[in-house]
């Protein structure tokens, strides 16, 4: 079976079905701030050591179909007032998509999906030098008729001590807090933290446009005492979310962003942000920056320029196009990844710090791999 193809012109691997035998992951950002994003929208995001300062909850051992840390829901209002809710990532709703492409790029992942009369493009990346994950969401109506469309990006938070999240079911939820701040413009910033890090490690989620409502409590989001599911969140059949601030318990950040009536051929766009700072005040400058779509576009262009410069150090032409692709793009890209992450965070080594952490021996070898392309940093 074929699950995708290499696009050498764009330096991507393009996955053409969400149902891959195992998840295909990509790395965004660096160990300073970043993580992995899988081909169905799940994400492990951390700032520094993923064992000691993890932000999103991703349990790799759970089934392929499960929600894992991050997703985006899209909903279309039906004539009877109910909603057709699905995810362009396929998981966790598992509703059939008309077409699916996941572009695994250089420090970004981009989905291009068509379903239910909509074309959706979602790009996830961390700008160079930034400590913010941007999720750029574009929705185009290709149905031939007007559609009332909303998007609901969702993150689920973990305790910063990633292993403790799995081993202490009593104490951990009691440490977790979500507050929400609504600005006069209608923008909302969801603030999440464990109480012992309130003064210096605050996770923040927001968007570039006003939010109709939000949810901070997983129990409320799933509904019916959590007998609703991420595959079918009962709250998304309501006109609005509950605006719950979860002062202890299982924390999520869900933003209901209403595009309203989307005319045939029209496109709407929104960009979400996930970051961690000492405080909301410290984050305000960067939040404001990336609410400007021109700055988002420039950040993505700057990321591409950085990679062009990195790869330009060496270029090989041989009679074998696949060999050229490996030597010119994918091998130096892998060396960059292992230089940043060693063998520590993947779906093989899960970044819990319980076995090896960032090994001195392996990291020394990884630095040699990147020496030719970034000698000053490797040194």
What pLDDT is stored for residue 356 in this prediction?
65
DSSP letters spanning 293-356: HHHHHHHHHHHHHHHHHHHTT-----S-HHHHHIIIIIHHHHHHHHHHHTTTBSSSSBS-SSS-
Coil, strand or helix at 138: strand
What is the phi-psi region of residue 34: left when phi exceeds 0, alpha when psi lies from -120 to 50, beta otherwise? left
Architecture of domain 4-291: Distorted Sandwich (2.70)
3-class secondary structure, 162: helix
- Return the domain boundaries, the chain: 4-291, 314-378
pLDDT given at position 335:
93
What are the residues facing 74 on neighbouring strands? 86, 151
CA dist 374 and 95 (Å) reads 44
Question: Under 8 Å CB-to-CB from 220, ≥6 apart: which residues?
Answer: 235, 241, 242, 244, 246
331-341 and 360-370 helices, crossing angle to 10°? 140
How high is the pLDDT of residue 378?
A: 77
For residue 355, count CB atoms less than 10 angstroms from its CB and return exposed for 0-12, middle for 13-18, buried for 19 or more: exposed
Residue 8 pLDDT > 70: yes
Is 27 within 8 Å of 36 (Cβ atoms)?
Answer: yes
Contacts for 12 with CB less than 8 Å, ≥ 6 apart: 6, 103, 104, 105, 106
Cis peptide before 92 (omega within 30 of 0): yes
In this predicted structure, what is the pLDDT of residue 150?
99
pLDDT score at 354: 63
Structure tokens at 81: 């007032």
Contacts of residue 331, Cβ cutoff 8 Å, sequence gap at least 6: none
Cα gap 151→58, rounded to integer Å: 22
Q: Which tokens belong to 300? A: 């993505």
Quote the pTM value.
0.96
348 or 152, which is more confident? Answer: 152
pLDDT per residue as tens digits for the range 183-201: 999 999 999 999 999 999 9
Q: How does strand 43-46 pair with strand 267-277?
A: unpaired
pLDDT at 188: 98
The alpha carbon of 197 is separated from its chain's Cα centroid by a whole number of angstroms, namely 23
Q: Please give the Cα distance from 110 to 15 (Å, whole number).
A: 10
> What does the pLDDT look like over 215-258, one tens digit per residue?
999 999 999 999 999 999 999 999 999 999 999 999 999 999 99
**DSSP run (H or E) holding 361:** helix 360-370
Mean pLDDT of the chain: 96
Q: Which pLDDT value is given to residue 359?
A: 73
């Amino acid at each position: 079976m074929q699950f995708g193809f290499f696009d050498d012109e764009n330096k991507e691997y393009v996955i053409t079905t969400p149902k891959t035998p195992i998840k295909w992951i990509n790395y965004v950002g660096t160990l300073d701030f970043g993580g992995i994003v899988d081909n169905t929208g799940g994400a492990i995001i951390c700032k520094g050591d993923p064992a000691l300062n993890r932000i999103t909850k991703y349990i790799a051992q759970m089934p392929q179909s499960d929600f894992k840390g991050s997703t985006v829901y899209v909903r279309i209002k039906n004539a009877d007032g109910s909603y057709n809710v699905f995810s362009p990532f396929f998981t966790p709703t598992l509703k059939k998509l008309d077409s699916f492409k996941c572009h695994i790029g250089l420090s970004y992942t981009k989905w291009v999906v068509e379903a239910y009369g909509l074309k959706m493009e979602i790009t996830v990346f961390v700008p160079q030098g930034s400590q913010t994950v941007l999720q750029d969401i574009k929705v185009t109506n290709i149905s031939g008729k007007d559609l009332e469309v909303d998007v609901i990006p969702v993150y689920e938070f973990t305790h910063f001590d990633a292993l403790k999240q799995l081993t202490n079911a009593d104490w951990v939820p009691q440490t977790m807090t979500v507050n929400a701040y609504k600005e006069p413009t209608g923008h909302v910033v969801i603030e999440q933290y464990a109480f012992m890090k309130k003064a210096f490690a605050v996770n923040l989620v927001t968007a570039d446009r006003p939010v109709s409502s939000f949810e901070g409590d997983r129990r409320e989001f799933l509904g019916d005492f959590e007998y609703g599911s991420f595959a079918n969140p009962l709250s998304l059949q309501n006109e609005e979310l509950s605006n719950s601030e979860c002062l202890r318990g299982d924390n999520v950040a869900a933003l209901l962003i209403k595009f309203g009536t989307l005319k045939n051929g029209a496109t709407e766009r929104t960009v979400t942000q996930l970051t961690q700072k000492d405080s909301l005040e410290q984050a305000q400058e960067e939040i404001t920056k990336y609410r400007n779509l021109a700055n988002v576009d420039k950040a993505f262009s700057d990321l591409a320029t950085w990679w062009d410069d990195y790869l330009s150090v060496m270029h090989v032409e041989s009679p074998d196009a696949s060999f050229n692709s490996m030597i010119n793009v994918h091998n130096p890209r892998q060396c960059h990844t292992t230089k940043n992450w060693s063998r520590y965070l993947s779906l093989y080594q899960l970044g819990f710090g319980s076995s090896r952490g960032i090994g001195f021996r392996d990291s020394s070898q990884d630095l040699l791999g990147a020496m030719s392309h970034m000698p000053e940093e490797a040194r």
